[in-house]
Amino acid sequence: MFFIAGSIPWTLVLDETSTCYRHSQTKAAVACQRCERPICPECMTQASIGFHCPECVAGHSQTVYRAQDIMNRRPPLTTALIVANVVAFVAQIVSQDLVTEVGLLWGPAVQDGELWRIVTGGFLHSGLLHLGFNMYALWIFGPNLEKGLGSVRFGIIYAAGLLGGSLAVLAFGFTQATLGASGAVLGLAGGLSAVLWARGINIFKTSLSAILLINLALPILVPGISFWGHLGGIVAGFIAGTILAWLPQRSGVSESSARLIGFGYTAALLAGAVFVAVG
């Protein structure tokens, strides 16, 4: 996972029930980056980082309004995932790469029954830089999504990205040893795209689309980065975001049903990865 610091889509995803502070009948999509008040797509102006509301664009806003306490809530799962990746990295070093060899994703070993690799490969890294990029990206995307959707739906999207990346690697790069949280983290970027889309935002007008393109181009330009892991993560995360955010908002499916479908979808990705490797 890679992106340029200036292109961070620091788009705070609000609680789905928030309405625009200027249009009380319209659902808010994001928070203004400066004053943090909820705004609808019509009121959004893309800034270098995130979006600004009309008042802040005009330079009138003096009041710093702390939207809801959603903004201040800690993202527990994001924090836990970062800790898990760092602990795993320490274990890799301490074990002198024994943990790496046993845990990375490699088709032939999965075929021999070492099914845990489908999951554990997503928590291991090839070096400090690799870990650093992915954890930085997780820290940018994670809190946004976890605060906006809640930990359960955030966790489903993360799992879908991880498993979708593994599934694509097993299907198209069976003999390539792969490791890293890129698939999962790009799954969050894909999921965020679906959430923004559900809220009426054209993602091609945001920096998110550039980040996704860079991460698809990078493996083609730089050897050793898994194209399939990246693509699988983005697609799987986008589908998860569509199930969890678009369905309840646009098609009348209840949120709890959408969550159940999301769980089923994630289980299907895992089953698909096992089937591709063993079947």
Point out which residues bind Zn ion (CB under 5 A).
20, 22-23, 32, 34-35, 40, 42-43, 53, 56, 61
147, 76 in Cβ contact below 8 A?
no
Q: Which is nearer to Zn ion, 35 or 177 (CB)?
A: 35
* Residue 237 C-alpha from the chain's centroid: 7
In degrees to the nearest 10, what's the CA dihedral of 203, 268, 232, 150?
40
Q: Which is nearer to Zn ion, 23 or 74 (CB)?
A: 23
Indicate which residue of 18, 182, 207, 226 is catalytic.
182
* Residue 226 C-alpha from the chain's centroid: 17
Q: How far is the CB of 23 from Zn ion (least distance, A)?
A: 4
Q: Which is nearer to Zn ion, 65 or 116 (CB)?
A: 65
Residue 122 DSSP label? G
Q: How far is the CB of 10 from Zn ion (least distance, A)?
A: 14
3-state secondary structure of 159: helix
Instruction: Give CA–CA dist 151/88, Å, rounded.
Output: 22
Q: How far is the CB of 55 from Zn ion (least distance, A)?
A: 5
Q: How far is the CB of 68 from Zn ion (least distance, A)?
A: 15
Q: Which is nearer to Zn ion, 8 or 189 (CB)?
A: 8
Would residue 182 show up in a list of annotated catalytic residues for this protein?
Answer: yes
Would residue 230 show up in a list of annotated catalytic residues for this protein?
Answer: yes
Phi-psi region of 252 (alpha: psi -120 to 50; beta: other; left: phi over 0): left
Residue 27 DSSP label? B
| Catalytic positions, written as ranges | 182, 230
